Amino acid sequence: MNNAEVLRIRNDFPILAQQVTGVPLVYLDSGATSQSPSSVLEAEQEFYEQRNAAVHRGAHQLAVEATDAFEDARSAVADFVGVRAEELVWTANATAGLNLLAYSFSNADASAGGGPGSGARFALSAGDEVLVTEMEHHANLIPWQELCRRTGATLRYIPIDDDGALRLEEAQRLITARTRVLAFTHASNVLGILNPVATLVAMAREVGALVVLDACQSAPHLPLDLKALGVDFAVFSGHKMLGPTGIGALYGRRELLDAMPPFLTGGSMITTVTMEEAQYLPAPQRFEAGTQPISQAVAFAAAVRYLEETGMDRIAGWEAELGQRLVSGLGGIEGIRVLGPAAGRPRTGLAAFDVAGVHAHDVGQFLDSRGIAVRVGHHCAQPLHRRLGLTASTRASTYLYNTTDEVDAFLAAVSEVRGYFGVARDEDGAHG
């Protein structure tokens, strides 16, 4: 990919043509929420205009067409991440998928999940351990905290070094026979670092622990084959990968999903109901009670088709170039501390940074006045920021529709921040 192609791609994204505060919008917040091309917007509208109906419930023509569109979307998204359609559960978002797992595990006992003993392998108790990392988004931390609180299990975490990399020698020490679940992010939403999935999966396999992967920052940006990675579960969200809000996906190995007790119960996830008990459908329907995000699933499928047509290898290469441009440029600006890997080391197309003497929220407001949209705050990763000695940072995150000119405009604006706020260096070199 190059700037000329990216400029053509931008024509597919109506929102990117607008101006903000009188200047062209530079959208560098795709790590939080990406923008959608016209084909995605049209797919959802077309569903409502042509085939809107409840799925898996009616025998009339519209209901059949709606069900076909819904399940075709599941197949498209499943193919995109290298898994079978029956291994993909629709959720409201990735956070909902992680909570589904944590609550299902805490519901597990000898009689849960529709049959004697079917949930026993997921049941946790005192003496068991759940292992996460110090860089996790709150969505992949708090559900496990709550699971441990409910079950008496212990939560532990793999620490990072000063550059943000996981301390693998500590991971080796912490992963023991007591470890029942290892949950970690594929790519950090703050550091931009890619974690060694194969190494961590191998460690977990040695002790029989289940592996849960947060793929929210990798599925939109990298070629992803969850089967090849060997994880047991993974989550990702539509709104971070050109799709709509309100939909995400949980991948789970079929035999595990079928054995897990359901989290939400009600209509559409059962086979037989009496006044005394119920029997549940196999996955994925056993986890899809009630009316589903049907139009959102259709639009999500349109989003992954757009990404596939563009080419995930090409997108990853372009974003890697933009990420290095961000880090190299920020590293050359006085008073800027970039979080995560240094320039020249692999990272995703984002960069979080601290501006000495200027709060991240002030940095964000200054950039917004120049039409540049970034993310400010702790990025739902307070423990990570605390480890790095910060309360907040500013984050610029790119996607397939960003140009090098936009990155350069961002860097030029950042170079003016400290001067605008009157922050200077004193004679001793300390920030004033």
Residues 173 and 184 sit within 8 Å (Cβ to Cβ): no
Look up 148 and say whether it is catalytic. no
Taking alpha carbons only, the member of 218, 272, 303, 264 closest to residue 89 is 264
3-state DSSP call for residue 257? helix
Q: How far is CA 197 from the centre of its chain?
A: 15
Q: Are strands 19-20 and 154-158 parallel, antiparallel or unpaired?
A: unpaired
251: which strand partners? 88, 234
d(CA 432, CA 424) in angstroms, rounded, equals: 6
Exactly one of 380, 383, 404, 425 is catalytic; which is it? 380
**Residue 284, preceding peptide bond in cis (omega within 30° of 0):** yes
Can you spell out the DSSP letters for 120-183?
Answer: GGG---TT-EEEEETT--GGGTHHHHHHHHHH--EEEEE-B-TTS-B-HHHHHHH--TTEEEEE
Maximum distance among all Cα pairs of the chain, rounded to whole angstroms: 80
Tokens at 95, concatenated: 């956070």
The set of catalytic residues is 380
